[in-house]
Amino acid sequence: MTRQRLAPQTGTAFVLSRGDRLRVIDPAGQQVADCIAFARGDTREWLSSGRTLDYNGTIYLTTGHILYSNRSHPMLTITADTVGRHDFLYTPCSAEMFSILYNAPGHHPSCFENLCRSLGGFGIAPDQIPTTFNIFMNVALTAEGALSVLPPRSKAGDWLEMRAEMDLIVGLTACSAELSNNYAFKPIDFEVTREAPE
């Protein structure tokens, strides 16, 4: 198990086998990491926000919650969480989002672009990338239904760990959206712990 580092505003993709544990660490604090997963055997099966929120009955996912696929199979279980606030409502930030919300012309690094590039190597097309599980992203919801994006609650060294419940292809980013990261882009670290060989 070696710790790997995503530079600010970058992403990667890798495989997990059933039983592997993925720990996502915020080394500097207040940095979001977007995470998405696809079934390794059939990438038409993907991590589903809708199914996950439905079966858990909450938008605030933490230790003990299971993240489900569009086919209602468990994909990941959250086994530990030192923060307790993450988001599964928002899609990954994208060039179009920066244009629509912030009238930002020209190129802006984004989680969507980084996921497209990383997952493309596994044959996953941009249109296959759904709502991401946004680790450390702090979204507040009012009784009237208004959403607001607040600074992450994560402090330096905080982490979330998930166990793979099937063989997966995982995409992971260090998010590029100013608002989500309290206006400073930091790295994201991650570690994969393999099941002991038999």
The answer to whether residue 93 forms part of the interface with Zn ion (CB under 5 A) is yes
Report the distance separating Cα 47 and Cα 147, nearest Å. 22
The answer to whether residue 172 forms part of the interface with Zn ion (CB under 5 A) is no
Interacting stretch for Zn ion, rule CB under 5 A, among 3-11, 94-102, 109-117, 145-153? Answer: 109-117
The answer to whether residue 192 forms part of the interface with Zn ion (CB under 5 A) is no
Q: Which is nearer to Zn ion, 61 or 111 (CB)?
A: 111
- Sole binder of Zn ion in the list 13, 75, 78, 111 (CB under 5 A): 111
Residue 150 CA neighbour count, 13 Å, CB half: 11
Interacting stretch for Zn ion, rule CB under 5 A, among 37-45, 85-93, 113-121, 162-170? Answer: 85-93
- We find the least distance from the C-beta atom of residue 92 to Zn ion, in angstroms, to be 5
- We find the least distance from the C-beta atom of residue 19 to Zn ion, in angstroms, to be 29
Residue 195 Cα distances to 3, 21, 131, angstroms? 16, 8, 28
- Sole binder of Zn ion in the list 175, 188, 189, 192 (CB under 5 A): 175
Q: Which is nearer to Zn ion, 149 or 175 (CB)?
A: 175
Q: Is 120 helix (H, G, I), strand (E, B) or coil?
A: helix
Binding mask 130-169 for Zn ion (x = CB under 5 A): ----------------------------------------
- Sole binder of Zn ion in the list 164, 177, 188, 192 (CB under 5 A): 177
CB neighbour list of residue 145: distance below 8 Å, 6 or more residues apart? none
Report the distance separating Cα 133 and Cα 107, nearest Å. 24
The tokens of 146 are what?
């208004």
What's the start-to-end Cα distance of the chain, in Å? Answer: 17
Q: In what order do the strands lie in the sheet containing 4-6?
A: 4-6, 188-193, 21-26, 158-164, 74-81, 66-68
Q: Which residues bind Zn ion (CB under 5 A)?
A: 93, 111, 175-177
